[in-house]
Structure 1
């Protein structure tokens, strides 16, 4: 099955303008933009036929062309990354069995997260969309709770049924659990990793659906699928000791740089 990876990137984020061009410095002191590090993460994924950066901004286009990426210019009317992926697929001039949305703020996404995601969607013919979830240990859960206590929008959490079909996603920490955990102890909370694999039919339908109240309240694009009664498969992934975080706020930059240095990444 052929796979297209789209990296949607916009400059005019209300929460963090210019985020794709923010630079992160790794272990060797090399500063690279967020979009370049995300593109490098996509290049490491096995079984991918094509990787493109989809943007509506000339600054991001020029930066991406400068490090060798293929770029598709998409409309500034796209409301989120899924809509931008749908537009990019329409102008790709080729058909693919699976379209992966690797959002441009997740350069630490391990290649096996995406490989497992693709495998999970292939193996589940009833699912129209798949997305990774990562079980939080005590340290990760404490980080999520600290963000919420400080009024920051941190990671997203997910709950799902026994067949691992999503029930809900939230920027709050769900499910509620008053327990105390050691840093390395597993918890019942799953961190949603902001990567998606779509079947083209579901991706094509998405921009035609109205924004629902839950998507509007949470600011989470994947809730549109759930509000339309569509199946979203949650694929549990294993960090294998690798640290993972997304760049959600300016305060996350030092955290990601520390992670890159501990990984030994450039």
Structure 2
């Protein structure tokens, strides 16, 4: 099966303009942009046949080409990464059995997270879309709750049924956990913003209007749930690594700290 990884990136982020070009300092003192680190993460995925950066901004495209990435340009009308991936596939005339959306703000995404999604779709033909979930450890759970106490939008959490199909995604920390009686293991799952689609699922997405839940939460994957399309949640193991997305300027220091510990 042919697998293509697309890295959607836009300059005009509401919360963090210019985010893909933010420089992160590596342990050796060198710097790389967020988009370059995300591209390098994608290139390390086993089973990926092609990797493209897809953007509507020439500044991002120029930076991506400079470090050797192939680029697919899209319009400014794409409301989110999934729409951008759908348009990129159409614009470039790409054909693939599995399309992976690896968003350009998650350079800490381990390759085995993406490989788990590819494996899930290869094993079960009934799965049209999959996304990883990661059980929160104490450190990640503390970061989630700290962000909410300070009215910052941090990571996303996922609720799913016993069949691992998603019930809901939210920027709140759910389910509720009594702070005086936090169980072990912690029953909160961090949704990792990576998606694997079959071509028909990605095409269907573009035909649906934005629903009220997607509009309120600002989470693109809710459009699938609002239209009755299942999303398979694939539980992944961090293997001791800390995963964090770059959502706010404060996250730069967090990610650099993790890089220093892991590299």
Q: Give the TM-score normalised by structure 2.
A: 0.97
Alignment-derived partner of residue 213 in structure 1: 212
Q: RMSD value over aligned CA atoms?
A: 1.3
Tell me how far 1:20 sits from its aligned partner.
0.1
CA contact (8 A) 1:20 1:104 kept: yes
Tell me how far 1:250 sits from its aligned partner.
0.2
Alignment-derived partner of residue 124 in structure 2: 124
Structure 1 residue runs of 5 or longer lacking an equivalent are: none
Tell me how far 1:203 sits from its aligned partner.
0.3
Tell me how far 1:202 sits from its aligned partner.
0.7
Q: Distance in 2 between matches of 1:51 and 1:102?
A: 10
Q: Distance in 2 between matches of 1:19 and 1:125?
A: 36
Tell me how far 1:240 sits from its aligned partner.
0.2
Q: Distance in 2 between matches of 1:185 and 1:176?
A: 14
Alignment-derived partner of residue 166 in structure 1: 166
After superposition, the C-alpha distances for 1:33-72 in whole angstroms (9 at most, x for unaligned) are 0000000000100111100000000100000000000000
Tell me how far 1:180 sits from its aligned partner.
4.6
Tell me how far 1:95 sits from its aligned partner.
1.2
Q: Distance in 2 between matches of 1:239 and 1:37?
A: 18
After superposition, the C-alpha distances for 1:122-155 in whole angstroms (9 at most, x for unaligned) are 2232221100000001221111011001000000
Q: Does 1:47 align with 2:43?
A: no
After superposition, the C-alpha distances for 1:62-110 in whole angstroms (9 at most, x for unaligned) are 0000000000010100000000000111123331000000000000000
Q: Does 1:204 align with 2:232?
A: no
Q: Distance in 1 between matches of 2:90 and 2:49?
A: 16
Query: Residue 59 of structure 2 aligns to a residue in which SS?
Result: helix
Q: Distance in 1 between matches of 2:184 and 2:256?
A: 25
Q: Does 1:254 align with 2:256?
A: no
Displacement over 6 Å in runs of 4+: none
CA contact (8 A) 1:138 1:181 kept: no
CA contact (8 A) 1:121 1:233 kept: no
Alignment of 1:8-87 (within 5 A): 8-87=8-87
Tell me how far 1:221 sits from its aligned partner.
0.1
Alignment-derived partner of residue 136 in structure 1: 136
Distance change (3 Å), C-alpha of 1:125 and 1:179: farther
Q: Distance in 1 between matches of 2:69 and 2:91?
A: 16
Q: Distance in 2 between matches of 1:75 and 1:185?
A: 46
The alignment of Structure 1 onto Structure 2 pairs a total of residues equal to 263
Alignment of 1:81-100 (within 5 A): 81-100=81-100
Structure 2 residue runs of 5 or longer lacking an equivalent are: none
Q: Distance in 1 between matches of 2:222 and 2:69?
A: 30
Q: Distance in 2 between matches of 1:120 and 1:181?
A: 35
After superposition, the C-alpha distances for 1:172-218 in whole angstroms (9 at most, x for unaligned) are 01111115578x94200000000000010010111110100000000
CA contact (8 A) 1:6 1:52 kept: yes
